[in-house]
Structure 1
Amino acid sequence: MAKSLFEELGGKYEWQGDYLIPCLTISAEKEQPIGTWGQRHLDYLKKYRKVTYINLLTSGRLNAYLADIDRQAQERFKRLIEGLKQEQGITEQLKAENALEWTGRVNNIRACARGIVNNEIIFV
């Protein structure tokens, strides 16, 4: 019996009842840690960009892609926070004088930065 293209490329079959089913495996990719931003983007891909998610998953590039998104989002988040703190004049002196006001203003900045990162990187 002639070999199929799948067998010529190194593929194998296994019996499932009366049928030969190809043994498909996803190539192993290097595991990289994925943070909060990467997890949010993964959820977004699964819900709203299913084709992109499946393509990344089956090509073995999903983990690297999510790690890169996580890194980009974290860097953008930090830059936004520092820029907004300087723009609004939030200093360590304010922190020493009025810790409650400083905390409120920094939390507001973090919420704004989170929204910007979500709109620019995560939910795109």
Structure 2
Amino acid sequence: MENRIFDEKNGLWYEKQGDYYLPCLELPEEETKPVGIWGQRHAKHLKQNHKVLYMNLLTSGKLNRYLADIDEQAEQLFLRLVKELSEKEKVTEKLKAENAMLWVGKMNEIQARAREIVNAELIYS
């Protein structure tokens, strides 16, 4: 008996494994885009908490594009929040020139708040 057979009804190839014929399945080709830290965090969250959605995206070949989009949205939101918060709290280049350590402390605090907002609204929701 053959090791590989083709089923014309469903258009699939089957390969013999032991006493059984198993379908030869492959994931569809996926356009690869770079996924940054935000997308990686979201992927980890999906794997742990939304396994069905993660597997659906993975098997349909849309996972990378989805994560790259989330990453881009998160980065834009983060930058916008940092800019808005620094303007609101008057953390400017003038402050940076006058008191660099105060500026660094305030910018670190603003960035931490912006990260928390992005995490809550996009990454872990």
TM range (shorter): over 0.9
Q: Which moved more, 1:53-62 or 1:103-112?
A: 53-62
The structure with more helix, counted as a fraction of residues: 1
Residue 4 of structure 2 aligns with which residue?
none
Partners in 2 of 1:77 and 1:96 — Cα distance?
24
Q: Residue 103 of structure 1: SS of its match in structure 2?
A: helix
Report what 2:104 is aligned to.
103
Q: Which residue of 1 aligns with 2:45?
A: 44
Aligned-residue CA RMSD (Å): 1.0
Q: Distance in 1 between matches of 2:8 and 2:124?
A: 41
Report which structure shows greater RCO (CA 8 Å, sep ≥6).
Answer: 1
Question: What is aligned with 2:115?
Answer: 114
- Note the alpha carbon deviations across 1:68-111, whole angstroms, 9 max, x for none: 00000000000000000000001101001100000000000000
Q: Deviations over 1:34-68 (max 9, x none)?
A: 00000000000001111110111111100000000
Per-residue deviation, 1:18:
1.3
Q: What is the aligned partner in structure 2 of residue 66 from structure 1?
A: 67
* Structure number having the greater strand percentage: 2
Aligned-residue offset at 1:26: 0.6
Unaligned runs of 5+ in 2: 1-6
Aligned length: 119
Question: Structure 2: how far apart are the matches of 1:60 and 1:8?
Answer: 24
The match for 2:31 is: 30
Unpaired runs of 5+ residues, structure 1, are 1-5
Give TM-score scaled by structure 1 length: 0.93
In structure 2, how many angstroms separate the alpha carbons of the residues matched to 1:83 and 1:36? 22
Aligned-pair identity (%):
54
Tell me, in whole angstroms, the C-alpha distance in 1 between the residues paired with 2:47 and 2:8.
32
Shift of 1:7: 3.9
